Copies of this chain bind each other. A is one copy, B any other.
Amino acid sequence: MGTTVAPHSLLHPRQDRDLPARLAKSCAAHRGVHTMDEYKSWYLERRRLLRIETQRIPFTALDGWSFAKDTGNLGHDSGGRYSIEGMRILAWTGPICEWYQPIVNQPGVSLYGLIVKERQGVLPCLVRGATEPGHPEVLELFPTVAATRADYARAHKSTPATYLDHFVGPDRGRVVVDVLQSAAGQWCYRMSQRNMIVEVTGDVPSHDGFVWLTFGQLQALLAGKMLSAGLRSLLSLLPPTPSGAKRGRSGDATPGALLPDSAVVSWLTEQRSYREVEVMPVPLNQVVGWHATGMEIARADGRYFSVIGVAGGGEHAEFSQPMIELRGVGLAAWVVKDFGGVPHVLARAGMESGLRDSVEIGPTVYCQPKEFERDTSAAMPLLLDYVQDADESRVRYNVVHTGDGGVFFHADCRYLIVEADDKLPAELPPDFAWIALGQLSDLIRQGNRVTLPARTLYACLNSLHLGLAEESR
């Protein structure tokens, strides 16, 4: 930003009062630069071009990757990529729990940046179609820019990545929002992503593989498996759509909530105070209970996840890398309910050992259900049955989305939004709280408060209020 002392400069309003209406208009727009039919033709052509195939390979066949002699950590020889290391966790969750696990360590904040630019009174955004190693079967839409710290540090020097100059440096666009968010905290060590939306007024050159879509069109595409985790996280920065933020019955201009804002913040503060986690990086070869073969690093009982080697390629690229393979399809679910006409979600303070603050606001239920099918001794997460057995009439949203396909292999997760009924237990433990949609949105935009699956669920829920997701199913 830099600072120039300009004593006579005019003050700016602290908030851009036109922005919410302009974003809402883009959310309501079913067509912008392209119609959905035009987009679909582009998508099919792009998918044909970028088709890739993958296969499991032994760790020894990974090109440029090796196990360090002293630590056993699995890293890339260049030092510029993630590595697979070990972690010892001590968690105070009432009794003290201790466990070891492998973890993905990628130092440096990644940037997920989205360009918006007004055209004919609407704000479309520029997204990129690409395939990732973790999901070779699907072409996904990504933010305009997805860059590691190494990428954007370079941007100050020679040849920046495509469009990066709109986010970094003197020519960057006007910031709409720019916050740090957590990533998958159960498997990644303190991984942090910067979520940034900028409005550009000057020319934006056309590049192959990019397409302009309105927020409304992107929200409609949330009805299928097409938006990458990074783009879904960016969509969660949009304020609640008008019908989602409708007024309370009191007729008050500011909609109320079951709990005042101060009580919601206090609930999160208390959960963070009580449920602390001490995380200690350890060498991968000291991770108790996990064993390496030539093809995978896994637990003897087959639980949780494994580290595998993956190679693949298509017309445009060849790659090989270690990846994380989870067990079965994950489940992230909100229980939702209107109170006094204001929609609320039943949030659970979720502890994920790799999170910087240990605890963030998570879904009502978030787990790998397969873990509980075969191991009857594991305690079922509260309300797992409740959301899985919900009658069709109460299911507002039910779509499988991809995980971060740069590190996770086929890490699909089912996102489920279920309306509460009178079978919901009247008393729930203190890690649950009802939060109004507007409160959740404010907390998301503060950064580092809401987990990635919960942010995705918010984006999905927000898209429903337009009726668009229903329409295009």
Contact = CB atoms under 8 A, between A and B. Distances in A.
B109 A12 contact: no
Contacts of A252: 13
A108 B11 contact: no
B175 A262 contact: yes
A133 B428 CA distance: 44
B1 A433 contact: yes
Contacts of A429: 2
A278 B12 contact: no
B178 A262 contact: yes
Interface in A249-265: 249-250, 252, 254-263, 265
A84 interface: no
Interface in A359-403: none
Interface in A1-23: 1-7, 9-16
Given A2-B429, A176-B262, A426-B5, A342 B11 contact: yes
Contacts of A337: 5, 7
A109 B276 contact: yes
A149 interface: yes
Interface in A202-259: 248-250, 252, 254-259
A430 B2 contact: yes
Contacts of A111: 273
Interface residues of A, number: 80
A256 B14 contact: yes
A339 interface: yes
Contacts of A274: 153
A339 B11 contact: yes
B346 A427 contact: no
A15 B257 contact: no
A179 B255 CA distance: 24
Contacts of A281: 280
A262 B172 CA distance: 14
A249 B11 contact: yes
Interface of A: 1-7, 9-16, 92, 107-109, 111, 149, 153, 175-180, 194, 196, 248-250, 252, 254-263, 265-267, 269-270, 272-274, 276, 278, 280-281, 337, 339-340, 342, 346, 356-357, 420, 424-430, 432-434, 436, 438-439, 446-448
Question: What are the nearest 4 A-B pairs in CB distance?
Answer: A11-B256, A178-B266, A109-B273, A3-B428
13 contacts: A1-B263, A2-B427, A10-B340, A13-B252, A14-B256, A16-B260, A177-B262, A178-B269, A180-B269, A180-B272, A180-B273, A196-B269, A446-B446
Given A1-B270, A4-B426, A14-B254, 17 more contacts: A1-B263, A1-B267, A1-B430, A3-B434, A4-B427, A4-B428, A5-B420, A9-B340, A11-B258, A12-B259, A13-B260, A15-B254, A92-B108, A111-B273, A180-B269, A194-B269, A357-B448
